[in-house]
């Protein structure tokens, strides 16, 4: 067995991409908030980024096999925490998502995402077959289903949805058979269809969620609600043109027409001020980040490591897809932030911890 891995084994390219995306985020947070009552938010974000970096390196030092060893306990802790949030959690913006930790409010569900990545990695790594049986698939589904139901109860549809691609990508790489894939796709389509079908959605969605669905389908009927948000976001993006309006010069951004322009809709603000060329840069960086993650998975020492890295890739990829698609009006408003660019403590911390897991796998690829 080799000595503990050294600094040169870290994926410095990945870190460079990460840092660049964070820088874009900080710049746009500054631009979006500097003239308003929220001024100074970019400094808070930098503080979170610093904490994130430290946490990332700390987590990378702890051998991921040890972490996977504790998966059942982590899972249990995660479920308990989710129940605790529902019982004693702090309500903000109409949802019980936060518990106070160290004077800040942490979103438990962000931590739970990380735990599910670990739990699924262990579960799929233990499947000693190239083909995933239906029995194992259902087991994995139940494993994800419990925390998902608890998060939906908060309610936090966005975070709950993120658990789905973790399961899908894990199952796919774990040897999902096409018959099962077909059956579950059908079920998934039916579920999504029912969400958009009022008689059914009335029973399974909260009023505000139904409203978002409606305003996504008919934005003109809801001029001031979330349809308005989507429209204003599209106006911001579109009016940016190819070259953008320039840093601090986006009227939609600066005059507050873009909803939560420093967080969920930061891509809209970025696209307005930096134009298509800026979007090209940002999405290029995200693509590079994701491809780099896949590459790390391909070079992982074992299946467990690969599943860990791909779990992270699935979570981040889903975040980017859903957030950016929302900004350009391709998806309804779900409240999913853009990883590393959107302002937010818990979300930022989650991304860095997740990347910490990736580094963990990366630096141990040559260790026997």
The one segment of 7-15, 51-59, 61-69, 85-93 that binds other proteins by CB under 8 A: 61-69
Binding other proteins (rule: CB under 8 A), the pick from 232, 263, 342, 346 is: 232
Looking up tokens 């080799």, which residue turns up?
A: 2
| Site pattern 121..160 for other proteins (x: CB under 8 A) | ----xx-x-x------------------------------
CB closer to other proteins out of 40 and 241: 241
If binding is defined by CB under 8 A, does position 260 make contact with other proteins?
no
Binding other proteins (rule: CB under 8 A), the pick from 76, 149, 217, 255 is: 255
DSSP state of 176: -
β-pairing, 104-107 with 95-101?
antiparallel
| Site pattern 164..183 for other proteins (x: CB under 8 A) | -----x--xx-x--------
Omega prior to 93 cis, within 30 of 0: no
| Site pattern 8..47 for other proteins (x: CB under 8 A) | ----------------------------------------
Binding other proteins (rule: CB under 8 A), the pick from 46, 177, 251, 281 is: 251
Q: Which of residues 295-334 bind other proteins (CB under 8 A)?
A: 297-298, 300-304, 306, 310, 313, 317, 321, 324-325, 328, 330
| # residues contacting other proteins (CB under 8 A) | 56
DSSP state of 225: S
In 175-195, which positions are buried (b, 16+ CB within 10 angstroms) versus exposed (e)? ebeeebeeebeeeeeeeeeeb
Binding other proteins (rule: CB under 8 A), the pick from 65, 153, 180, 206 is: 65
Binding other proteins (rule: CB under 8 A), the pick from 30, 48, 98, 257 is: 257
Judged by DSSP in three states, 241 sits in coil
DSSP state of 5: P
In DSSP notation, 115-148 reads HHHHHHHHHHHH--SSS--HHHHHHHHHHHHHHH
If binding is defined by CB under 8 A, does position 161 make contact with other proteins?
no
Closest residue by Cα to residue 59 from 16, 19, 10, 120: 10
For the sheet containing 104-107, what is the strand order? 90-92, 95-101, 104-107
- The distance of closest approach from Cβ of residue 152 to other proteins in the complex, given in angstroms and rounded to an integer, is 25
In DSSP notation, 285-353 reads HHHHHHHHHHHHHHT-SSHHHHHHHHHHHHHHHHHHHHHHHHHTTSS----PPPTTTS--HHHHHHHHH
CB closer to other proteins out of 95 and 290: 290
H-state helical runs in the chain? 12-33, 41-61, 64-69, 71-88, 108-126, 134-152, 157-173, 178-195, 198-204, 207-217, 226-240, 251-254, 266-298, 303-327, 345-363
- The distance of closest approach from Cβ of residue 180 to other proteins in the complex, given in angstroms and rounded to an integer, is 15
If binding is defined by CB under 8 A, does position 287 make contact with other proteins?
yes
Q: 95 pairs with which residues across the strands?
A: 92
The one segment of 101-109, 145-153, 209-217, 287-295 that binds other proteins by CB under 8 A: 287-295
- The footprint of other proteins (CB under 8 A) covers 65, 68-69, 125-126, 128, 130, 169, 172-173, 175, 223-224, 232, 234-242, 251-252, 255-257, 271, 275-276, 279-280, 283-284, 286-287, 290-291, 294, 297-298, 300-304, 306, 310, 313, 317, 321, 324-325, 328, 330
């Amino acid at each position: 067995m080799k000595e503990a891995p050294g600094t040169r084994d870290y994926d410095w390219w990945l870190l460079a991409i990460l840092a660049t995306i964070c820088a874009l985020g900080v710049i746009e947070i500054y631009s979006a908030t500097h003239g308003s009552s929220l001024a100074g938010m970019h400094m808070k974000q930098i503080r979170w980024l610093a904490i994130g970096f430290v946490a990332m390196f700390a987590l990378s030092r702890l051998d991921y096999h040890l972490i996977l060893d504790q998966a059942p306990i982590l899972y249990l802790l995660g479920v308990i925490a989710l129940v605790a949030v529902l019982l004693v959690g702090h309500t903000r913006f109409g949802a019980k998502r936060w518990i106070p930790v160290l004077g800040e409010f942490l979103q438990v569900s962000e931590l739970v995402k990380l735990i599910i990545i670990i739990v699924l990695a262990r579960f799929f790594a233990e499947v000693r077959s190239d083909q995933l049986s239906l029995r194992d698939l259902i087991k994995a589904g139940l494993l994800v289903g419990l925390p998902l139901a608890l998060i939906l109860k908060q309610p936090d549809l966005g975070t709950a949805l993120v658990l789905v691609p973790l399961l899908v990508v894990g199952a796919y790489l774990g040897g999902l058979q096409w018959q099962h894939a077909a059956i579950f796709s059908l079920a998934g389509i039916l579920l999504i269809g029912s969400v958009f079908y009022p008689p059914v959605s009335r029973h399974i969605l909260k009023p505000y969620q139904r409203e978002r669905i409606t305003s996504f389908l008919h934005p003109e009927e809801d001029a001031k609600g979330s349809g308005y948000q989507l429209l204003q976001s599209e106006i911001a993006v579109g009016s940016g043109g190819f070259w953008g309006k320039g840093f601090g010069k986006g009227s939609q951004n600066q005059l507050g027409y873009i909803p939560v322009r420093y967080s969920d809709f930061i891509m809209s603000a970025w696209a307005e001020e930096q134009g298509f060329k800026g979007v090209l840069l940002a999405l290029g960086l995200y693509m590079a980040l994701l491809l780099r993650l896949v590459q790390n998975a391909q070079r992982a020492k074992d299946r467990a490591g690969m599943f860990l890295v791909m779990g992270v890739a699935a979570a981040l990829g889903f975040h980017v897809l859903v957030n950016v698609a929302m900004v350009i009006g391709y998806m309804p408003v779900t409240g999913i932030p853009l990883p590393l660019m959107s302002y937010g403590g818990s979300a930022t911390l989650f991304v860095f911890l997740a990347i910490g897991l990736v580094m963990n796998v990366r630096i141990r690829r040559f260790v026997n």
